[in-house]
């Protein structure tokens, strides 16, 4: 199966992939924010939902309905209820990876 612009994917510059418990494929891109690929249609999440910068580097689901996104230029975001909230970071607050510890804590790094 191939997905690109012809199938509705807003960018082919993919930086992160994550499959959640509902089998949705979350795609972090360099220039179009976060994309959710469900059966159909492709859902693109960006500044309209509160994600200020597009370069999503890592994606993690907390199991409580929240999706966490490490953003290369603006820190850590949580997506819940259809909106992003910036948790930490800001200008220059780069995050490139997210890891869950054995205690269940979320660690972000570069």
Interval 25-49 mean pLDDT:
81
| pLDDT over threshold 60, residue 91 | no
Tokens of 23: 């089998």
pLDDT tens-place string over residues 61-89: 877 878 888 887 778 888 888 898 888 87
DSSP 3-state percent helix, strand, coil across the chain (nearest 5) = 5, 45, 45
Distance CA 35, CA 108 (A): 21
Pairing label, strands 25-29, 106-109: unpaired
Put simply, whether the predicted model's pTM sits higher than 0.85 gets the answer: no
Planar angle of CA 3, 55, 63, nearest 5 degrees: 80
Q: Which residue carries 């993919």 as its tokens? A: 14
| pLDDT over threshold 80, residue 40 | no
pLDDT averaged over the chain? 80
């Amino acid at each position: 199966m191939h997905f690109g612009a012809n199938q509705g994917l807003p960018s082919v510059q993919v930086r992160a992939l994550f499959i959640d418990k509902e089998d949705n494929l979350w795609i972090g891109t360099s220039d179009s924010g976060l994309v959710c690929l469900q059966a159909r249609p492709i859902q693109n999440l960006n500044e309209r939902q509160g994600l200020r910068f597009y370069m999503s580097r890592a994606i993690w689901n907390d199991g409580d309905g929240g999706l966490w996104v490490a953003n290369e230029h603006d820190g850590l975001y949580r997506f819940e209820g259809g909106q992003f909230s910036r948790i930490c970071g800001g200008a220059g607050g780069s995050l490139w990876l997210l890891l869950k510890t054995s205690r269940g804590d979320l660690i972000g790094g570069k």
